[in-house]
Amino acid sequence: MRGVWPILYAFFDAEERLDRAAMKAQVEACIRGGAHGIALLGLVTEFHKLTLVERRMLIDWVLEDVAGRLPVAVTVNEAGVAAAREVARAAEAGGAAWLILQPPQIAGMNEAALLRFMGALAEAVSIPCGPQNNPSMMDVALSTGALRTLNRAHPHFRMMKGEGPILYVQRLIEETEGAFAIFNGLAGLELTDTHRIGCAGMIPAPDVADVQARIWTLMDEGREEEAEALHRSILPIATFMMMPRTAEHFAAYGKPFFAKRAGIGAVHPRRPCVEPHPLGARILERLGRGLPAL
C-alpha cells in the first residue's frame, strides 16, 4: 500500500442528489490516470454534507466500481462510536484495504477520551487502520504518545493520514519510531520530499493525481531530476488549491477543474457552499494548460 491515492470528490446532480454516473466516471478517470489506490470520504468528499445513508452508499458504489483493481482506503468520520463502528465494519466487509479514522472534532475533548474512541474503532475491525492527523485543517489530532499507545494495543493500528508541512511529517515518523505507514496530503505540495523521508504515499484531491502518480513512480525508480521537473510544473495548481486550506475551496474550484479533465458533465454544488468566482476558474484554466484529458 504505497503511492498516490486520490481522495474522491462527491458529485451531485441538479437536484443535489449523489450522482451515480459521475462518481463511476471519477473512479475510472483515476484508474486511467495511473493512481496506485483510491481513497474516499475525506474533507474534499464533503462528508459533512452527507447523511450516514449517503456515506454508506458511496462506500458501496466505489468498492463496486473499483472491483478490486486498486486498493481502497475509506475514511470513517462519524462522531459517535456506534455509527463509526457501523461504517468501519461495512467498509471492511465491502473489501476496503484500510481505514482512515478521523478523530471527532469536539472542542475540549481530552486525549484519554480520544484514545478510548480510537481504541473502540480499532477493536471493531481486523484490517489495517489509523488516524487522520491534520492539524493544519482540523482542530483535533492525536499526540505521538497516544499514537504509540494505540499501536501497541492494536498492532493493525499502523496506518496514518498524517497531513502537514514536511517537517511535521518528519517528526511524526521519528517520534512514532517508524511504526506507521504514513500518507501525506495537502494537495501534494511537498510530494517529492514526502517520498524522500520515507512516507508510504500521498492522498491528494484527484485534480492532478495522474501527474502526481507519475512523479511518485519516477521517485521509486530513482529518476529524481525528472520527478522534480514534473513536480515543478504542477506546483502552481497545488499552491492555488491549498492557499485557503478549506474543503469548500476544493469543491468550488478543484472539482470542476477535475471534472473537465475527466470528461464529467456539469458540476452541481450541494448547499450551503462557496460560490466560485470567475477569476478562480480562469486562473486554474491558465495553470492547467497542457495537461492531457483523463
pLDDT, one tens digit per residue, over 185-229 is: 999 999 999 999 999 999 999 999 999 999 999 999 999 999 999
Distance CA(226)–CA(68), nearest Å, equals: 31
User: In the predicted model, is pLDDT for residue 137 greater than 90?
Assistant: no
pLDDT at 140: 86
pLDDT at 271: 95
Mean pLDDT, residues 123-144 taken together: 92
Residues pairing with 165 in the sheet: none
Higher pLDDT, 254 or 134: 254
What the chain holds in terms of domains, given with CATH numbers, is: 3-287 (3.20.20.70)
Mean pLDDT, residues 69-94 taken together: 96
Distance CA(174)–CA(170), nearest Å, equals: 6
pTM: 0.96
pLDDT, one tens digit per residue, over 141-171 is: 899 999 999 999 999 999 999 999 999 999 9
Angle at the Cα of 148 from the Cα atoms of 193 and 46, rounded to 5 degrees: 60
